[in-house]
């Protein structure tokens, strides 16, 4: 998938109706993060992956709301530019997105985020709310090339379902 | 006051007041113009400033404007922080040993 220009990408992610759906959740509640960290840890362990995340795609950035294997930078670094986030592909596709080895895929070989972290493979599934809006993604990343299986995707889908249940409990009044 | 242009880090530009203006119009759709005007009033800015302290003041006001603007502010904050981290990493890799 080609993300074309940043403006086009940000317009798709920042569509007003989608942003209003995102704004209906209390994404900054500390208890939410604790719950989602646990799900990320479990998915990482079940898939034997060093990194797992639950994240929301804002208009121009990925906001990480649950994490395992990433440095805890507190309030300082809570996400990444949307054009570099692998989860952007999952959100735009509204379907599982897999990357076996970024160094062998010209679409992702120059991704600065993968270059800086040394991560090479990715599997993500979308987080979809009851009205069909794709809010974000649940994913794992690995430092080695990896073929993800249907069973792996099932594990991520189970995690995504739980993440959506928890998000629903954190809707703003 | 104008802040000198900051170099791109791995192709990532540092967010500016113009980016904030564009983002507010994007996420608010047909109410973008009035939302921007409310934001400038809340931040006590004209919208013509180009310095980073003004941008940071704008983002802080954005955080308290309404829930959608808060998310927009968070996205800009992430891009600012990412640029700071990557610019530092970029400089470190280019510095002579």
Supply the pLDDT for residue A92. 97
Supply the pLDDT for residue B10. 77
Supply the pLDDT for residue A77. 63
Supply the pLDDT for residue B5. 53
H helices present in chain B, as ranges: 17-28, 32-43, 52-63, 67-94
**A134-142 and A61-68 as β-strands: parallel, antiparallel, unpaired?**
unpaired
Substitution target from A5, A23, A27, A114 for chain B, most B beta carbons within 10 A: A23
Mean predicted confidence (pLDDT) in A100-105:
94
Cβ–Cβ contact B91 with A under 8 A? no
Burial of A92 (0-12, 13-18, 19+ CB in 10 A): middle
What are the residue boundaries of the structural domains of chain A, listed by start? 26-168
Mean predicted confidence (pLDDT) in A131-157:
97
Supply the pLDDT for residue A70. 85
- In sequence order, the 6+-apart residues with CB closer than 8 A to the CB of A39 are A54, A66, A138, A159, A162, A163, A166
DSSP 8-class letter at B97: -
Q: Does domain A26-168 match CATH 1.20.1250.20?
A: no
Supply the pLDDT for residue A73. 58
Supply the pLDDT for residue A74. 55
Supply the pLDDT for residue B97. 44
- Ranges in chain B, pLDDT < 50: 1-2, 4, 97
DSSP 8-class letter at A89: H
Chain B hits for A82, Cβ within 8 Å: 75
Is the distance from CB of A108 to CB of A81 less than 8 angstroms?
no
Cβ–Cβ contact A164 with B under 8 A? no
Supply the pLDDT for residue A112. 86
Least confident segment among A53-57, A98-102, A146-150, A169-173: A169-173
ipTM summary value: 0.92
A3 vs A63, residue with greater confidence: A63
- The CA distance from B75 to B57, in Å, is 15
Chain A hits for B70, Cβ within 8 Å: 23
Mean predicted confidence (pLDDT) in A1-22:
86
Supply the pLDDT for residue B4. 47
Give the closest of B11, B27, B89 to A59, CB-based. Answer: B27
Backbone angles phi, psi at B10, to 5 degrees: 55, 35
- The CA distance from A172 to B27, in Å, is 19
Cβ–Cβ contact B75 with A under 8 A? yes
Substitution target from B68, B86, B87 for chain A, most A beta carbons within 10 A: B68
With a cut of 50, say whether residue A168 has pLDDT above it: yes
Handedness of CA A169, A64, A43, A160 (dihedral sign): positive
Cβ–Cβ below 8 Å for B82 and A77: yes
Cβ–Cβ below 8 Å for B75 and A172: no
Cβ–Cβ contact A29 with B under 8 A? no
């Amino acid at each position: 998938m080609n993300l074309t220009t940043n403006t086009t990408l940000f317009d798709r992610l920042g569509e007003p109706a989608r942003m209003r759906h995102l704004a209906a959740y209390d994404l900054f509640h500390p208890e939410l993060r604790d719950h989602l960290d646990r799900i990320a840890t479990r998915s990482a362990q079940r898939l034997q992956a060093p990194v797992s995340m639950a994240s929301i795609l804002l208009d121009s950035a990925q906001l990480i709301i649950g994490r395992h294997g990433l440095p805890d930078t507190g309030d300082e670094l809570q996400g990444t530019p949307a054009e570099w986030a692998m989860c952007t592909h999952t959100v735009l596709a509204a379907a599982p997105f897999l990357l076996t080895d970024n160094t062998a895929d010209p679409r992702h070989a120059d991704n600065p985020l993968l270059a800086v972290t040394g991560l090479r493979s990715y599997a993500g599934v979308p987080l979809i709310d009851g009205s069909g809006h794709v809010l974000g993604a649940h994913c794992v990343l690995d430092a080695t090339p990896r073929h993800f299986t249907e069973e792996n995707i099932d594990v991520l889908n189970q995690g995504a379902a739980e993440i959506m249940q928890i998000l629903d409990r954190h809707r703003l009044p | 006051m104008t802040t000198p242009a900051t170099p791109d880090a791995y192709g990532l530009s540092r967010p500016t007041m113009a980016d904030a203006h564009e983002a507010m119009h994007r996420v608010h759709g047909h109410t973008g113009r009035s939302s921007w005007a409310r934001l400038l009033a809340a931040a006590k800015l004209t919208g013509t400033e180009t310095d980073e302290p003004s941008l940071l003041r704008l983002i802080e006001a954005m955080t308290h404007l309404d829930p959608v603007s808060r998310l927009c502010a968070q996205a800009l904050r992430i891009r600012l922080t990412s640029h700071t981290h990557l610019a530092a990493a970029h400089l470190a890799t280019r510095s002579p040993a």
